Chain A
Amino acid sequence: MHDFMAILPLVATGAGAILVMLAAAFESFKKEGISILGIGLFAFAFFVQLTVESGAPITPYGSVFNGMLVTSTFTKGAGLIILACGFFSAIASQTYFTQNEGFVLEYYCMMLFAACGMLLMTMAAELITVFIALEIMSLAIYTLIASDRRSVLRSEAVLKYLMLGAFAGAFFVMGSVFIYAGAKSTKFADIGQVVAETGFLTNPALVGGSLLILVAFLFKAAAFPFHAWVVDVYDGAPVPVTGFMATAVKTAVFAVFANFLVINGQLQEGWVNYLFYISVLTMFVGNLIAIGQNSLKRMLAASGIVHTGYLIIALVAVNSEGFTGSTIIFYLAAYAASTLGIFAALSYLGGEGEKRNSFEDFNGLAKVRPYSAACIAIFLLSMAGIPPTAGFMGKFYIIAGAFQGGYISLGVLGIFSSILSMWYYLRLIIAMYFREPEEDFEVAEMTLAPLGTFVLALSVFAISFIPVVI
């Protein structure tokens, strides 16, 4: 029974996806009905995940699944974030598609399938399982991006993402092959044992294999040398899908990235120096790209690169003995709440066909829609890391962890990058509060996204009270 409870969120999401898929085939289900169903299923899966007992890692159905799934407090936290991201993205989508075209009835089904793949990714403790989960997630996301086939922008985004994603997937498979050659197994536990017995740097196949797998993860997480696709793809996707990609996909990738790195302390030590430079470069290159953007969506995409940099700091400082990953989960939760909040707000403020997209379009928002402007300001301040928001606490835990781990310069560079990022976050706040409004920001009636934005603004403060042991 314990085992079944542990994988129940996965089952609930998968079964929910199939339910929506079947419902979409009926004539009597219309857009509204299916939206409510999708939102409800995400909420249900979230509560199921909440009931899973946290504690020491367990391997559900260890003998049947051959120890390929492992659930722990870390996977529970990641699962909660992923399902909450799905819930709020679904709410934002409901509103978005009242003003924008390109809705297909299978939209929520693909969203649930993507969440199912992400949950699998967080739980997987074996490379081939990780690969299949990665592909489940990616295929569903490709479909979500391109569901409006009449738009050239969407097609361009999905082609870029598909080609580069396939390339990253190939790197992952090649890496798995080399790891199998070096360790005679693809299971995390067995790899850890081989590393403990024979050492990491003395085993070239393991080193090469983990390099290729790291490349695939860094690609999916949009870290420095592999960040070029992010801005175009995020810009080309529909607003709620961009929000879902920026938060849920990142959560899943970092969960599996951390699980892979803590297989063994030696494996992590072997890569720490490189991850150090990658995190510094990711933060500053992301900042440079973000400063140059004039479109809000592209700025948020580029700021996503910067946040990847902070998360890599957390990975550098992670301790493979008694790994809990609480700082990573906390930062992901704080980042997800504020990013999703902005994208939910953009979903109803964006107008028909996403016509409001640049900084100038939001001039004087505070005078016309003061509550929405206040929420957006809260999200931006949280992303910039101003107390008392969750974003500040997240950065605080990560940088404190870096200091504790002895990476003083990395922590200082993190603070510096955070100051640099104020430039583009405050730019929008200035536009909203200190400029004169040019239009009246009409929005569609009867929608859920404003409510979702408000709830997320509250949770930005609520999350900051969750205690974390570094």
Chain B
Amino acid sequence: MLTTYLFFGLALLAVLGALGLIIFKHPMNGAMSFVVTLISLAGLYALLSAKLIFAIQLIVYAGAIMSLIVFIIMFLNIQEKDLPLDPNRWFYVAGGIIVVGPIAGLLINISRTLPATEVTVFDDGFGSVKEVGQLLFTQWLLPFEIVSILLLVALVGAVVLAGKRGVN
């Protein structure tokens, strides 16, 4: 019973944080609101007994990536007067909701049709570093390997876009 309440609480927080991200005007407020989403997602992973993902979510996403984002926002030193005037903002938000709403409704209806199985108790190893590692290096070896290419592309791309201008 407690897990159900926890689930709904965390899910609500996650959605509210995401809403804040798009509604707050100042980027710093948006970033702080996004932290709420990331942390409540970590909580949801913990409820699913995915220990490793829970830790990674907190350390990498809520920790490292968020501090980079906040660092960049502070580095640019955005003041209230730097923000663009956006009088039609609510109009766009409403338009977005009208477009995305039916899709969300469809997806909610679909997830209702999924069989409601009782909570399965996994053995102690589920979601631990060892189990995830074994799965990753046996069944999911190919995605694991090609992610390295993806990271390399991202790295080189970032260097190209942020590097010196106009070589040769």
Interface residues of A (CB under 8 A from B): 14, 18, 21, 30-31, 64-66, 68-69, 101-106, 109-110, 113, 116-117, 120, 126, 128-129, 132-133, 135-136, 139-140, 142-143, 146-147, 149-150, 174, 178, 181-182, 204-205, 207-208
Contacts and interface: CB of A to CB of B under 8 A. Distances in A.
A31 B168 CA distance: 7
A36 to B, nearest CB: 14
Contact of B156 (A110, A120, A178): A110
Interface of B: 106-107, 109-111, 113-114, 138-143, 146-147, 149-150, 152-154, 156-157, 159-161, 163, 165-168
Contact of B168 (A68, A103, A132, A149): A103
A422 to B, nearest CB: 36
Contacts of B114: 181-182, 205
A208 B114 CA distance: 12
Given A129-B142, A132-B150, A136-B149, A143 B166 contact: no
A224 to B, nearest CB: 16
Given A64-B141, A65-B142, A106-B160, 7 more contacts: A18-B152, A104-B160, A106-B156, A117-B149, A120-B146, A142-B157, A205-B111
B60 to A, nearest CB: 18
Which DSSP category, helix, strand, loop or mixed, fits chain A's interface? helix
B140 A110 contact: no
A116 B106 contact: no
Contact of B160 (A18, A101, A128, A147): A147
Nearest to A132: B146
13 contacts: A66-B141, A103-B167, A113-B153, A117-B153, A126-B142, A126-B143, A132-B143, A136-B149, A136-B150, A143-B153, A147-B161, A205-B111, A205-B114
Nearest to A106: B160
A386 B142 CA distance: 44
B150 A129 contact: no
B126 to A, nearest CB: 17
Given A110-B156, A136-B153, A66 B140 contact: yes
B146 A133 contact: yes
A146 B168 CA distance: 17
Nearest to B166: A101
Given A65-B142, A101-B166, A143-B161, A116 B149 contact: yes
Given A66-B141, A132-B146, A178 B161 contact: no
Closest 7 CB pairs between A and B?
A143-B157, A208-B110, A65-B142, A204-B113, A68-B142, A204-B110, A31-B168
A205 B115 CA distance: 11
B85 to A, nearest CB: 20
Of B106, B109, B149, the most chain A CB neighbours within 10 A belong to: B149
Contacts of A181: 111, 114
A129 B143 contact: yes
Given A136-B150, A136-B153, A68 B159 contact: no
Contacts of A116: 149
B157 A140 contact: yes
Contacts of A120: 146
Contacts of A113: 149, 152-153, 156
Given A110-B153, A139-B153, A139-B157, A128 B143 contact: yes
A105 B167 contact: yes
Contacts of A31: 168
A68 B138 CA distance: 12
A21 B156 contact: yes
Nearest to B159: A106
Contacts of A65: 141-142
Contacts of A102: 166
A150 B161 CA distance: 11
A207 B110 CA distance: 9
